[in-house]
Amino acid sequence: MRSGVIFGVLAALLAFPDALALKANDFKTCSKSGFCRRGRALSARAQEAQASWKSPYSLDPSSVSISPDEATVKASVKSSLYPDIKFGLELRIHDDGVVRVIMDEVDGLRKRYNEAAEWALVAEPKMSKTISWTAGKKDLRAVYGEKKNIQIVVSYDPLRVTLLRNGKEQIVLNGRGLLHMEHFRSKTVKETSEEVASDSSGEGQEVLQVENVRAWFEGESEDDWWEETFSSWTDSKPKGPESLSLDISFPNHGNVYGIPQHATNLSLPSTTGDDAPYSDPYRLYNADVFEYLASSSMSLYGSIPVMHAHSADSTVGVFNAVGSETWIDISYPTKKSTHTHWISESGIMDVFLLPGPTPEQIFTQYARLTGTTALPPHWSLGYHQCRWNYVSSDDVRTVQRRFDEEDMPVDVFWLDIEYAEDHKYFIWDSKTFPDPVKMTDDVAAIGRKMVVIVDPHLKRTDSYPIYKEASDMDILVKPKSGEGEYEGWCWSGSSSWIDHFNPASWDWWISKFKTNKIDTGFSWTQSTEDIHIWNDMNEPSIFNGPEITMPKDSIHYGGWEHRDVHNINGMLFHDNTAQAIRFRGDVPKRPFVLTRSFYAGSQRISAMWTGDNLGTWEHMAVGIKMVLANGIAGMTFAGADVGGFFGNPEPEMLIRWYQVGIFSPFFRAHAHIDTKRREPFLLEEPYKSIVRDILRLRYTMLPIWYTAFRENSVTGLPIVRPHYVMFPKDPVGFAIDDQFFIGSSGILVKPITEKEITETTVYLPDDQVYYDYFTHYAYRGSSQGNYVTVRAELHQIPVFIRGGSILPTRERPRRSSPLMKHDPFTLRVALSKSGTARGELYLDDGVTYSHQQGELVWREFVAEPSAKTTRISSKDLASANPSQTVDGVMLETYNPKNAFVKEIEEVRVEKVVVLGLSNKPKSVKVENGAELYWEYIPGVPASDKKEGTSSVLHIKDPKVIVTEDWAIVIS
Amino acid sequence: MFWLLLFLPLQALGAVDKAFGVSSDLLSKYVPSKSNTWNCLDGSKQIPWDFVNDDFCDCPDGSDEPGTGACRNQSFYCQNVGHIGSFIPNSRVKDGLCEPNCCDGSDERPGVCRNTCEEVGLAYKKQIEAEMKLRKTGSKIRAKYIAFAHKEKKRLEDIIQTFAAEIAVRTKEVARIRDIAERAESLSASALELKQQSPLYTSLITHSNALKSLQREHKKHLQREKELSDVLDSLRTGYNPNYQDMAVLEAVRGWEELAGLPHINDVRKDSVSDEEAGLDEDWDSDGLEITEDVEDEMWTAEDLENDLDDLLNQDYISLLLEHDEYVQASSESSILFDVASYLPDSVIPKYEEFKETLVSWLVSLGVIKGEAPSSADTSRSRQALTNAENELNKVVKEKEDAENELKEIFNIHGYGMEGEWKKLDGTCLRTDVGDYTYEVCLFGEAKQIPIKSGSSFTLGKFASWNPSPDVKPGDEEYYKKQVYNRGHRCWNGPERNVVLLLSCGTENVLTSVVELEKCEYQFTGTTPALCLPLDDADIKSKDEL
């Protein structure tokens, strides 16, 4: 026996090299998940049966009930397999044309989970009062849209829901007959039904010979209906089978995007059919996947069940509001059509059909459902320096000093889990952080912030006030018995988890972040308002749980099983934290909360990152695609760890990663505890200076990023935009995900993510001039698209300004972004082929909510050519569009002399650079003012066809004020 | 290509003094030409004088904006009247924060920052004075260290001489004994060769070789087992749950069962100190050391540990000869050979003498088989030679050591040009941080010792002074850093290393220990060895304050 043990120990030790990689066996494949296996088997049977396959579900025409005053219709649905089981179907058409399809079991043994949408939606959608349903003999239908070109059709038998536009099928539910809602049953039901079946056939004695009449659809066996074992864990499944299978087809769309988070291409590769790159369906089951693969359909930390289907003709979307584990098969029967099959473990069917038909409209429609990203604190767009771990308050001070000595800008220093004594979050380790408030003040003295981690696992010891209070309040997640406290293993050892579904936890959690003493227990007096929060491990990650998470039969508030709410769980945690940060002081301030786990709706208040990536070129590349995919699913404030969490990147890789990082909405460098230190000031020359320039470029462009966040906060359009969003009619761009645009600014970037690159090919999608941001070289796109080759040595980033754009930047290096508040602006006017250009600038105090009272600046810059002049002007946009200004707040009026404007009234435009003028000007003046100093370097004009360095006009210090209307005339 | 100078709105410019932010040595360059122009300092461009310090960057080298933040990567000079002038990066000019290095407040708009130069100057002067005092006191101790090194040098030189004399004597002695031994052996060599062919002897040698090999393998295994248990112990106490790896947890549990340790998680719940107490008690009964029944005459583990080496180090030749004597004595159990047993002790030496004479006669007469010379003599002289050689080697080695030590004293890579570090060789500095005592014995080993209980880790052994290629060996900077490396390997990580950063102080102490990266420790401390005596320049600069 002993030798056996020794052998086992040795084997474990020898196996460690392998352990430094994904442990695929920790996670289920579809074949190891009962309901997924059942769902895929159903699909396989349908495939085999081909034309003879018919969905057993049908709508009872006699049950149709159309609401008299809004666009809602209800009806009964039954399955021919189980004639006694009742299902209810409801369709609602919202005032923006979105169709919500809800189906649930009626009068069942139990209740299916039906609260996912409640957590995801920002507000109760408004029903259309003008669209009306008509019930026909074979179907129900409604026709709407400005041109009456949208049709929603519900066929009775078999049940089928189709959205059409101009007579073309856009979205089809149950078109392949894979709809199956497993009804609740008691464990003996099967025998009973067999007896019933045998009785009816009159051969009571030969029970075994009776054919299972439902096998053609459901299969022969009760496959993992009542219990499921994975590795050493057994899921008790007290409710039995309750999965939902639904096929969603896009007969006229050949590309689908979304359903983050997966490490894969933006245009999702297929999972079934010939030559499918992935063998498993895309999985949505929030999970802490150690050293995840750079290309896989495996689930990761967050889940947003929203999908775009795109063609040159139209874009449509589907939001499937489900909170349980969901697997999605994708296949492309033809190049121009897509089949998807969604298999969820529990919950009602609650699907939103987004009619589009443009990407912009999809974003707006989805934003109206789940909300947009509230304008984040301005400083959070700066550079974040993180490491697991800065080991002491003196370490933090030293890192800050080194940044300042090297004159490298940084806004935020982060503390990972080791600041906390025994990983009891909030409780500083007094040996290493004896003076947390003083340390934070020292950081804040340079205008900076700190972000400190607070994870959801609570160390189970009564000396930890957070645990003790939660335990006393009985707001912890319960084990499957429904009694007591669920106990699992995480950083803090034996731990329990707050049940944020329990409303009693909300105010309590918010009170823990107060920086002053409170009467009702612990509050974080050892913190200041300059500390913001990082919520990690909120999938939740549980080291000794099945698939490194919580057992599905654990019990949440209201008696719901963890299986019902798993994917929503992480969102409630970071959402409550953000509320706490917002309201901890006397004046509400914008919170910054970074979350690893997320769900539809998370975007409203938190930023996310792509988790524990590896320091490899593949991970660097896929990080860009993941940020794009999150962006189109609403989760726009996103980024990947610069440098890669695991590993020690060589200087070349680190530099390329910084180049990727500055073009992500969220820009943070992070490193694992086992890695060498790699703060940019540690680099040797020339790498150090290259990274300094990269950091400064980010800061230079902060006005562009902030302006993009404003737009997103109103429209839901992502911060970083893939080609199909910008040029939806250009099929070449549909699968491009290694170059992208920044907001509406006109900046196109292609970061380099490969080793030893000196040049690269960039796709220019339209007949327009694209200027190299740094050299002003003019490249030409064409209406069929054009590939150009550009230099991309280590210090070079392929960044372009699309002709027709005006970029506001701030070019003076500072140590942190708040110190730029009074710095002047530079405007880059990149003329289009027709000599025009346009750009926007949004500013506010960046910290409080005074912008929601209209204390802000929102300007438009326009360059317009006329016979002999080009006129560059600035005008106020907020007065003209008060309801569209910011954050979905409907300002009624806007005061152009508001308090914020007064604060920055001396801020001027110090320089204007005009690219692509045709001729040397004769005069450059502020309108009705003095002649200005200027310098003209002849070059290729925008209107030309040829490539070459463009003409550049530098206008020196026009001294026009950025908050005022003005014009500069070039004659 | 050129700025078009249409007219000069002077009133808009000139808000800032043209020489603002310029250091005194460059002031002469900030004057306009006769035509009221100015050349960028690198000569690349001519601009109107009004463009200097107009908060817009005109010169490619940035030299036209010494007093604003308009050009990148420039230095701004604060006059700091009443204190010392100082350069700051111009990225800090008008950023809203008062620079500590600009006590005159000139880096911000007028009225933003108070002029604090007087108090800053005073504080600075005090600080410099304190530093000087420290250096003065420290350098006195350092002088003692240097004196010590010279004494050491003398001492070593003396013992080297002594050793040299002794070596001469012993070399002669070895030569003499070797001569005797060789003579004795040459007589017996052929006889010995024959004896060595005896089956018993050859088998003995084979047994011995086999046993030696077994011992070597056994030691290897013991060493391996020790290393494995070290690995597993550090895995158990320090495993990184980040790997979220149940395999690791199983390994820990397996090890605990095998070694009879309580589960670390239970231990952590109860506090670590209880665990260690329990650990020691449990170790013998349940642990790796399994007690087993040993047959009589079989060696116990303890015997193996203690006596095996002696057994194997036996001189088999001597044994062979003794064996021969023994066998002959018993086989020729004639009265003659056994007479001794009947004789009183006092007569035996005489008898032996007589016997040898008698036997030699008998041999020469062919009555008994001859044996010349006595085996006992041969082995004795061999032993004497070995002993004498060992003694000689020992002294030679001691002399070499002393010579090496002498070389190190004034070696810039060793104890410094002046030998000021010699005194500190082996001096151990300690400090407590958290649950550990950290110790570095200079030029020796650095350690992490748990305060409560548990095993210590070697953090590294002295490897070198500051290894940076930018630092010249022998310079002051060189001695401000020591590297200790190749300590115990970290679980799943590198070998532990220590960088010791030293500065001048009146005492040899460790002031802090941080683990900035996993298993990379940074110690800081002070030592008088770094307190260089004040020179004239130091005193002069102090007086200028």
pLDDT at B294: 62
d(C-alpha A502, C-alpha A494), whole Å? 22
Helix (H) or strand (E) holding A436: helix A436-444
> Torsions phi, psi of B119, nearest 5?
-70, -40
Q: How large is the average pLDDT for residues A706-721?
A: 97
pLDDT at B9: 40
Going by the DSSP 8-state scheme, the letter that residue A132 receives in this structure is -
- Which pairing describes strands A799-802 and A769-772: parallel, antiparallel, or unpaired? antiparallel
In the structure encoding, which two tokens stand for residue A170, read together? Answer: 């856009």
Alpha helices in A299-387 (DSSP H): 359-370
Q: In Å, what is the CA distance from B106 to each residue of A124, A800, A963, B101, B113? A: 58, 40, 28, 10, 8
pLDDT at A192: 46
pLDDT at B192: 75
Question: Scanning every residue of chain A, which has its alpha carbon at the shortest distance from the alpha carbon of B268?
Answer: A493
Percent of residues in chain A assigned helix, strand, coil, to nearest 5: 25, 30, 45
* Res. A768: pLDDT tops 90: yes
Binding-face residues of B in 408-467 toward A, CB within 8 A: 433-434
Query: How far is B160 from chain A, CA to nearest CA, in Å?
Result: 47
pLDDT at B342: 59
To the nearest whole percent, how much of chain A has pLDDT over 70? 96
Spatial strand order of the sheet with A948-949 comes to: A720-721, A740-742, A747-749, A799-802, A769-772, A777-780, A948-949
- B269 part of contact set with chain A, CB < 8 Å: yes
A810 pLDDT band (50/70/90 cuts)?
A: very high
- A9 part of contact set with chain B, CB < 8 Å: yes
d(C-alpha A477, C-alpha A557), whole Å? 8
Per CB-CB distance under 8 Å, the chain A contacts of B231 are: 13
Length of chain A measured in residues? 971
B196 residue type, one letter: Q
Q: How large is the average pLDDT for residues A897-922?
A: 96
Indicate the SS3 state at residue A884.
helix
Answer yes or no: are the C-beta atoms of B531 and B135 closer than 8 Å. yes
- Which pairing describes strands A870-876 and A856-865: parallel, antiparallel, or unpaired? antiparallel
Q: In Å, what is the CA distance from A67 to each residue of A73, A93, A102, A808? A: 6, 11, 15, 52
Q: Class for domain A45-182+242-370, per CATH?
A: mainly beta
Helix (H) or strand (E) holding A86: strand A82-93
Q: B304-328 as b/e, with b when 16 or more CB fall inside 10 Å?
A: eeeebeeeeeeeebbebbebbeeee
- A819 part of contact set with chain B, CB < 8 Å: yes
d(C-alpha B38, C-alpha A674), whole Å? 55
pLDDT at A622: 98
Q: What is the CATH number of domain B426-536?
A: 2.70.130.10
pLDDT at B518: 86
d(C-alpha B112, C-alpha B78), whole Å? 15
Spatial strand order of the sheet with A306-310 comes to: A57-66, A72-79, A82-93, A99-106, A349-354, A315-320, A306-310, A255-258
Residue A615 CB: number of other CB atoms within 10 A? 22
Better-predicted residue by pLDDT, A226 or B366? A226
CA A352 to chain centre: 18
* Res. A69: pLDDT tops 80: yes
pLDDT at B233: 83
DSSP assignment of B108-151 equals S-TTTS---HHHHHHHHHHHHHHHHHHHHHHHHHHHHHHHHHHH
A536 is catalytic: yes
pLDDT at A1: 39
For chain B, the structural domain boundaries read 1-115, 426-536
pLDDT tens per residue across span A181-205: 999 999 874 544 444 444 444 444 4
For chain A, the structural domain boundaries read 45-182+242-370, 821-971
**Contacts of A752 by beta carbon, 8 Å cutoff, 6+ apart:** A656, A659, A760, A792, A797, A798
Query: How far is B244 from chain A, CA to nearest CA, in Å?
Result: 5
Active-site residue (options: A329, A455, A539, A844)? A539
Partners of A826 in the β-ladder:
A809, A911
Helix (H) or strand (E) holding A772: strand A769-772
**Contacts of A495 by beta carbon, 8 Å cutoff, 6+ apart:** A457, A458, A459, A460, A487, A488, A489, A542
Which residue's entry shows tokens 């701030």?
A810
A772 is catalytic: no
Which of B2, B244, B250 minimises the CB distance to A548? B244
Residue A930 CB: number of other CB atoms within 10 A? 13
Closest CA to A372 of A818, A719, A54: A719
In the structure encoding, which two tokens stand for residue A743, read together? Answer: 């907001």
Per CB-CB distance under 8 Å, the chain A contacts of B224 are: none
CA A373 to chain centre: 10
Site from A816, A822, A955, A957 to mutate, B interface, most B CB atoms within 10 angstroms: A957
Q: How large is the average pLDDT for residues A567-582?
A: 98
Using only C-alpha atoms, what is the Rg of chain A?
Answer: 29
Q: In Å, what is the CA distance from A748 to each residue of A349, A690, A731, A774, A839? A: 40, 21, 18, 13, 15
Helix axes A651-661, A687-700, angle to 10 degrees: 0
Q: In Å, what is the CA distance from A957 to each residue of A154, A826, A932, A951? A: 64, 9, 8, 19
Q: How large is the average pLDDT for residues A812-818?
A: 98
Q: B477-486 as b/e, with b when 16 or more CB fall inside 10 Å?
A: ebbbbbbbbe
> Torsions phi, psi of B127, nearest 5?
-65, -45
Q: In Å, what is the CA distance from A202 to each residue of A84, A195, A196? A: 21, 10, 10
d(C-alpha A392, C-alpha A442), whole Å? 14
Q: In Å, what is the CA distance from A693 to each residue of A100, A407, A727, B500? A: 49, 10, 31, 33
Site from B101, B242, B435, B512 to mutate, A interface, most A CB atoms within 10 angstroms: B242
- B55 part of contact set with chain A, CB < 8 Å: yes
Kindly indicate whether the ipTM for this predicted assembly is greater than 0.90, answering yes or no. Answer: no
d(C-alpha A964, C-alpha A943), whole Å? 31
pLDDT tens per residue across span A91-149: 999 999 999 999 999 999 999 999 999 999 999 999 999 999 999 999 999 999 999 99
Residue A754 CB: number of other CB atoms within 10 A? 13
Site from A407, A487, A812 to mutate, B interface, most B CB atoms within 10 angstroms: A812
Helix (H) or strand (E) holding A257: strand A255-258
pLDDT tens per residue across span A777-809: 999 999 999 999 999 999 999 999 999 999 999
> Torsions phi, psi of A470, nearest 5?
-65, -40
Q: What is the CATH number of domain A821-971?
A: 2.60.40.1180
Binding-face residues of A in 888-917 toward B, CB within 8 A: 910-911
pLDDT at B276: 43
Residue B506 CB: number of other CB atoms within 10 A? 18
Averaged pLDDT, groups of 10, chain B, 545 residues long: 41 64 93 95 95 96 96 95 94 96 95 94 93 94 95 93 92 86 72 81 90 90 88 78 67 83 63 42 42 70 82 78 73 52 63 62 54 60 83 92 90 91 94 92 95 87 94 92 92 85 96 91 96 82 67
Answer yes or no: are the C-beta atoms of A666 and A386 closer than 8 Å. no
Which of B3, B97, B434 minimises the CB distance to A446? B97
DSSP assignment of A542-554 equals -TTSGGGS--TT-
Question: Scanning every residue of chain B, which has its alpha carbon at the shortest distance from the alpha carbon of A925?
Answer: B6
Per CB-CB distance under 8 Å, the chain A contacts of B54 are: 957
**Contacts of B190 by beta carbon, 8 Å cutoff, 6+ apart:** none
pLDDT at B322: 75
d(C-alpha A300, C-alpha A296), whole Å? 10
